[in-house]
Amino acid sequence: MTVLTQPARKLWTEPSELVKHIVARHHASLRQKLPHLDRLLDRIVLDATKPSALLEQVRRDFTTLADLLDTHVTQQEGWLFPRILHLCDSVSASGWACEWEDHLKEALDSQGADSREALERARKVCQALKDPAWSLTGPAGRDFAAAMPALLADLQEHLDLESNILFPDIRDLLRLYGKAAANV
């Protein structure tokens, strides 16, 4: 029986709580897993007796994925999430959400596109690992193939929470308490 893990949507009554959960669970998990997987790939490349198109493809897609996710975490924790938390505080304290409104809308849109690309890369890596030729990559290859599906599952939950719960909630706050609402 296939068990689908769904985000516990009803737990998130406040966007600020969801932001804290994403940082503590999903961003922390990426910080731990990505360097580990990168080291495994280095080991696989070192152990390879001859060049392999499959290994080169996995290395290339994983490097792109890791770069995308590193940028994702840096941008969210360095700029986007602090402003979302400030926005929530502002709405709560004054019923006003005007600050950074246009920048926030643009940032939410661009994050969605980057998330879709990251998911596509992660799926591509997982698909490549099903190639029978991957079994020739030895113990490090087996460890990598065992760890990637967990990274993909965590990433799906992480990006679902952001794209389908957090960001729509923030767009609603901007619509209800931003400049457009103030001009009505």
| Binding residues for Fe ion (CB under 5 A) | 76
Q: Tell me how far, at minimum, the Cβ of 150 lies from Fe ion, in Å.
A: 17
Helix, strand or coil for residue 6?
coil
Q: Tell me how far, at minimum, the Cβ of 7 lies from Fe ion, in Å.
A: 13
Q: Residue 52 or residue 76: which is nearer to Fe ion going by CB?
A: 76
Q: Tell me how far, at minimum, the Cβ of 158 lies from Fe ion, in Å.
A: 6
Q: Are 7 and 162 in contact (CB under 8 A)?
A: no
Q: Residue 122: in which H helix or E strand, if any? A: helix 101-128
Q: Tell me how far, at minimum, the Cβ of 80 lies from Fe ion, in Å.
A: 9
Q: Give the residue carrying structure tokens 């709560």.
A: 92
| Interatomic CA distance for residues 14 and 100, integer angstroms | 20
Which residues, including other chains, have CB under 8 Å from residue 12's CB and lie 6 or more apart?
Answer: 18, 21, 161, 165, 166
Q: Residue 128 or residue 155: which is nearer to Fe ion going by CB?
A: 155
Residue closest to Fe ion (Cβ): 76
Q: Residue 128 or residue 161: which is nearer to Fe ion going by CB?
A: 161
Residue type present at position 22: I
Q: Residue 118 or residue 125: which is nearer to Fe ion going by CB?
A: 118
User: Which one-letter DSSP state was computed for residue 99?
Assistant: T
Rounded to the nearest angstrom, the gap between the alpha carbon of residue 52 and the centroid of all alpha carbons in its chain is 29
Q: Tell me how far, at minimum, the Cβ of 9 lies from Fe ion, in Å.
A: 17
Q: Give the residue carrying structure tokens 């392999």.
A: 52
Residue type present at position 127: Q
